[in-house]
Amino acid sequence: MDSGIGLLAAAAAVRRLRPDADLVLSLDPAGMPWGPRTPEDLTERALAVAEAAAARRPDALIVGCNSATVHALTTLRARFEPDLPVIGTVPAIKPAAAGGGPVAIWATPATTGSPYQRNLIREFARGVRVAEVPCPGLAEAVERAERTAIDEAVRAAAERTPEDVTTVVLGCTHYELVADRVRAAVQRPELPPLVLHGSAGAVAGQALRRIGARPAPEAPAEGTVTVLLNGQEGALPESALAYAEGRLLAQTAPVR
């Protein structure tokens, strides 16, 4: 679940680990973007999208959105667990800091500077210099697959990123879809290759562990994809096909 196509990264990661998994993608196009919303409003929207997904009786619910994890995860877990495991998406600050830094965390304005993110920095990045970089408009541009707007938002965030940064945490799931553009904008020729840390792979692995399933990437690619748009069955947004993750998922016809 997510406000929009930011969930593609985690969904594609699950598909690669388990080609036989049936996926339900629950989106909120009427409420996207979630980032600028108040925590209370965001939580209300996230609950509605989660309820639509839960009605399909899944084995696990992945909150494929950093902002929703920051503000709504406690509410979602109180509503659905223990019957339905809820897996949040946490910015990959711990593995990023393990490299020694300096680190930049690119995130939505709602997540940047939030107590949640600051706590993660204090817990996992002690002794490492961390710069929090808000990226206004980037998630929205990625959602629309507008190349010029994406490039402008990435360029603006890169200008706010310290020049000596060697590691960037992609603290919004939308950003993982344009990781190559982030790398090109931030990489300095005099520095080692930039290291990017997303969350999709770890989230997919955690979801499988929570339900006691093992990765089986060689399984027959028989899993279905159901797309819910504000609770109603539909198709992946056209913009999803601009990204490799969306094209991977589109290879399976949505359930009707």
> What pLDDT digit, counting tens, does each position of 227-246 carry?
999 999 999 999 999 999 99
Residue 107: beta bridge partners?
A: 134
Fold match, 5-89+201-250 / 93-198: yes
CATH number of 93-198: 3.40.50.1860
Average pLDDT over residues 151-158: 98
Task: Quote the CA–CA distance of 246 and 231 in Å, as a whole number.
Answer: 20
Q: Among 63, 65, 169, 200, which one carries the catalytic annotation?
A: 65
Q: Is the pLDDT of residue 15 over 70?
A: yes
172 is catalytic: yes
pLDDT tens per residue across span 184-212: 999 999 888 999 999 999 999 999 999 99
The CATH architecture one would assign to domain 5-89+201-250 is: 3-Layer(aba) Sandwich (3.40)
pLDDT tens per residue across span 161-181: 999 999 999 999 999 999 999
135 is catalytic: no
pLDDT tens per residue across span 31-65: 988 877 888 999 999 999 999 999 999 999 999 99
Residue 130: beta bridge partners?
A: 103
pLDDT at 255: 62
Residue extents of the structural domains in the chain: 5-89+201-250, 93-198
Has this prediction a pTM greater than 0.75?
Answer: yes
Q: Among 1, 72, 97, 172, which one carries the catalytic annotation?
A: 172
Neighbour tally for 20: CB within 10 Å: 12
- In this structure, is the dihedral angle defined by the CA atoms of residues 172, 173, 178 and 181, taken in order, positive or negative? positive
Write down the H helix ranges in the chain: 8-17, 39-54, 66-80, 93-98, 115-124, 138-144, 147-159, 179-186, 200-210, 244-250
